[in-house]
Amino acid sequence: MKLAVNVDHFATLREARAHTEPEPVLAALLAEQAGAEGIVCHIRSDRRHIKERDLHLLKKTIKTRLNVEMAASDEMKKIALEVKPDVVSLVPERPDELTTEGGLDVIKFQEHLGPHIKDLQEAGIKVSIFVDANTDQIEMCHKLGVNLIEINTGVYCDTKPDSLERKEALDDVARAARFGHELGLTIHGGHGLDYKNIYPILEITEFVELSIGFSIIARAAIVGVEAAVREMFFLIQ
Ligand code: PXP
């Protein structure tokens, strides 16, 4: 399984003082050196952390793959077509949310998403959809022509360890991953994963890559980026 590291919160820290440091690009390079096989960031419409400048610099400097999470808006599509990241991950966005709150409702927004996805793909960008562990939603992703999805692990991560709710949420994620894999989709996972709750997720063999941000960055603040990334990298091997 591969590790993709989300560097958003280096930019959050930078913006806390409207400063120039810490530099998310430097963190991304260190993460790659410690085993990350992809770099992820989320450009939000309020630019609360990652900005266009970060995307351009990341695209120019990193050696693995750049996956940019964004809303399926015209403004974001324009940015994607300029930056041309390796992957665009379409996510829902609510202005005052603390973090992404769930998967994109591809059934509700199918008419808008169809041409939006096509425009990105025609520009040579691979499109992923962040989706809840729901087979109807995953089937619609397939119908919309993407071949990559990221299953939301956040519901599982929000449950209490050893609870029935956790077991049920894990079963949902495993079932969804299997279903997507059977449809021929490449399956990524992410949201809320940390150094403890990741273990059962590692048993789900359909996952090709996990996207992890907050827990790694929180640990990096104490032990440094390379140590925090390397520890997660060895966990998920
Ligand atoms: N995947 C998606 C689609 C996300 O929006 C985020 C958070 O930006 C992550 C994964 C990473 O989540 P976390 O920061 O909780 O590891």
Q: Where are the domains of the chain?
A: 2-236
Residue 185 Cα to ligand 1 midpoint, Å, equals 20
3-state percent breakdown (helix, strand, coil) of the chain, nearest 5: 45, 15, 35
At 123-143, the pLDDT tens digits run 999 999 999 999 999 999 999
- Find where tokens 């410690």 sit: 34
In the predicted model, what is the mean pLDDT of residues 73-98?
94
Set 9, 32, 49, 69: catalytic member: 69
Distance CA 48, CA 44 (A): 7
Q: CA 115 to CA 109: how far, in whole Å?
A: 11
- 138 is written with which tokens? 């995953």
Instruction: Report how far residue 122's alpha carbon sits from residue 79's, in angstroms, rounded to the nearest whole number.
Output: 15
CATH architecture assigned to 2-236: Alpha-Beta Barrel (3.20)
Q: Element (H or E) spanning 55, and its range? A: helix 52-61
Residue 94: what pLDDT? 83
Nearest to 73 by CA among 113, 29, 110: 113
Per DSSP, which regions of the chain are E strands? 2-6, 38-42, 66-70, 87-90, 126-131, 148-152, 186-190, 207-212
pTM equals: 0.97
Separation of CA 7 and ligand 1 centre (Å): 10
Q: Which of 10, 54, 100, 198 to mutate to test the pocket of ligand 1 (most atoms within 8 A of CB)?
A: 100
For residue 191, report the distance from its CA to the centre of ligand 1, in Å: 4
Give yes or no for a contact between 202 and 162, defined as CB atoms under 8 angstroms apart. Answer: no
Look at residue 26 in the predicted model and tell me its pLDDT: 98
In this predicted structure, the answer to whether residue 100 has a pLDDT above a threshold of 90 is no
**SS3 at position 59:** helix
User: What is the 91 CA–ligand 1 centroid distance (Å)?
Assistant: 10
Of 68, 76, 99, 197, the residue with max ligand 1 atoms within 8 A of its CB, to mutate for a pocket test, comes to: 99
42 an active-site residue? yes
Closest CA to 39 of 49, 52, 20, 25: 25
Indicate whether 117 pLDDT > 90. yes
Which atom of ligand 1 lies closest to the CA of 214? 14
